Amino acid sequence: MKAIYPGSFDPVTYGHLDVIGRITRMFGSLIVAVAQNDEKSPLFSLEERLEMIRQSVRGMKGVEILHFDTLLIDYCQKNKINVVIRGLRAISDFEYEFQMALMNKKLSEKIETIFMMPSESYSYLSSRMMKEIVAKGGNVSAFVPRHVERELRKKLLEPR
Ligand code: ADP
């Protein structure tokens, strides 16, 4: 079975990495798929987001990193991927994730969505919060790898 973990990863956090680690141990491998998502106006370019994940999973066996800009389900069908992984942090994630999983099921019956809860210590993390904290001068070293924090500071605090 091939599993895919799609998201914006703008930027990747320890919450994402917790999910990636757990699923990779369960499935033996995992495709992390970064959505281009220009309509969400991400802070980091696609290449920057990919590179931050590459550096974060260095040494982890079985993780493949790629990007997509089509409908996720089309991508899965073309590449014979049958499991979509999503993270569930809190009840507030539930409604959106539930709607998306049901819609994906309507688009393709063969693809299952599996929800993964992160360890409790990461369940309150979001990429958006990381950007807000760094922009206001806070420290996020407990929540993202060191190189990600460096990139956040560069992007948000250094004059261009
Ligand atoms: P998207 O824009 O697709 O929601 P994100 O990069 O924000 O992309 O998140 C990708 C997936 O990872 C989503 O399923 C999201 O719920 C999950 N996720 C985000 N942060 C965490 C976290 N701290 N713990 C567990 N799952 C998370």
Residue 61 has pLDDT above 90, yes or no: yes
Q: How long, in residues, is the chain?
A: 160
CA of 87 to the centre of ligand 1 (A): 5
CA of 124 to the centre of ligand 1 (A): 11
pLDDT in tens, 75-125: 999 999 999 999 998 877 888 899 999 999 998 899 999 999 888 889 899
- Residue 133: which residues within 8 A CB-CB, separation 6 or more? 139, 140
Q: Tally Cβ neighbours within 10 Å of residue 2.
A: 14
127 labelled catalytic: yes
Residue 102 · residue 111 · CB < 8 Å: no
Strand runs (DSSP E) across 12-126, as ranges? 30-35, 63-68, 83-87, 112-116
Q: Measured from the CB, is residue 16 less than 6 Å from ligand 1?
A: yes
pLDDT at position 159 is 73
pLDDT at position 12 is 98
Mean pLDDT estimate for the chain = 93
